[in-house]
């Protein structure tokens, strides 16, 4: 079996070996692949593995030996799964590997928004504490999370973990989106519709998949319904947010701040309005990228490929 990884640089930048996958067939790994090179590189492959390199219907049609696609992520919108299904090609993803890492990053962002650790560190190193007349100073008053309300949009694995951490910080938790499965045991907790959640929450954290129905749902109208003291955090998909509307809301002081780990076009473009928005923290899609999470992702990918080779594919999305 010929296995081709089209874009392996982020999963294994050198610390997460492909050894276990290489035992399953003749493996070729490319750090990244331009769209025009996909067919050349994967034309003879039995199994193609991709993270963000798109496999469109037209591309799939030019891969005559292809039997299986393994997505090196949870989201699988980069593969035309319907076209693959018509060809009888199963597509598998990795539904769970980064729950704790992403939830941790949500709180790294929230703690920066509320405590401003980074800017105070810069101020101290710039000599402001040395020159201070008092034993302490602050550029902006830190905010205590206990007693505030966390609104979680998308209450799946990651959303539920974020809710648990929020509860541990003493926050009230609201949840919206998806099916209302069993409520968590901690209190206070309540379900809310989207608009009510945005209106009541001090912090809104997005954890829903991007679909045709919810693209840009965080729009000008929804943002204007938030409290002026509220924060928006997005570690899900950039396309969930109308970025121009968010930048405008920040400039108009309609919300207190935002933090995003994802944007609508990645890598980020220089004309993205969030780059010039005040009180907006941006990280480069790293919430998933702890070594622990990437190792779990590698292990699950090997399991997906091995299951396909055994005749019983798992985690099939089409």
Distance CA 173, CA 167 (A): 7
Residues that are catalytic: 237, 266, 285
Could you tell me the pLDDT band of residue 262, with boundaries at 50, 70 and 90? Answer: very high
- At 181 the pLDDT is 76
Average pLDDT over residues 24-48: 98
pLDDT at residue 106 tops 70: yes
- At 13 the pLDDT is 97
pTM over 0.85: yes
Q: Which domains does the chain have, with CATH numbers?
A: 2-97+291-309 (3.40.50.720), 99-282 (3.40.50.720)
Average pLDDT over residues 266-278: 97
State pLDDT tens for residues 138-166: 999 999 999 999 999 999 999 999 999 99
């Amino acid at each position: 079996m010929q296995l081709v990884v089209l874009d392996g640089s982020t999963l294994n930048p050198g610390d997460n070996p492909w050894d276990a996958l290489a035992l399953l067939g003749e493996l070729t790994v490319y750090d990244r692949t331009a769209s025009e090179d996909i067919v050349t590189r994967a034309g003879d492959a039995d199994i193609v593995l991709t993270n963000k390199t798109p496999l469109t219907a037209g591309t799939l049609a030019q891969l005559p030996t292809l039997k299986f696609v393994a997505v090196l992520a949870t989201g699988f919108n980069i593969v035309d799964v319907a076209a693959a299904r018509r060809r009888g090609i199963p597509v598998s993803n990795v539904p769970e590997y980064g729950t704790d890492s992403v939830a941790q990053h949500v709180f790294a962002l929230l703690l920066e928004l509320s405590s401003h650790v980074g800017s105070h560190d810069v101020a101290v190193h710039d000599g402001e504490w040395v020159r201070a007349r008092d034993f302490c100073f602050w550029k902006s008053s830190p905010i205590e999370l206990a007693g505030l309300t966390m609104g979680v949009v998308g209450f799946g694995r990651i959303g539920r973990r974020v809710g648990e951490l929020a509860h541990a910080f003493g926050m009230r938790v609201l949840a919206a989106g998806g099916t209302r499965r069993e409520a968590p045991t901690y209190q206070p907790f309540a379900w809310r519709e989207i608009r009510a959640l945005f209106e009541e929450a001090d912090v809104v954290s997005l954890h829903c998949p991007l679909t045709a129905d919810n693209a840009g749902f965080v729009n000008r109208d929804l943002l204007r319904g938030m409290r002026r003291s509220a924060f928006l955090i997005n570690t899900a998909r950039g396309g969930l947010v109308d970025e121009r509307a968010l930048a405008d809301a920040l400039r108009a002081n309609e919300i207190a701040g935002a933090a995003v780990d994802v944007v609508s076009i990645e890598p980020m473009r220089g004309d993205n309005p969030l780059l010039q928005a005040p009180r907006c923290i941006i990280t480069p899609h790293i919430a998933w990228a702890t070594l622990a999470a990437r190792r779990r992702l590698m292990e699950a990918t090997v399991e997906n490929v091995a299951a396909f080779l055994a005749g019983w594919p798992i985690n099939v999305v089409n």
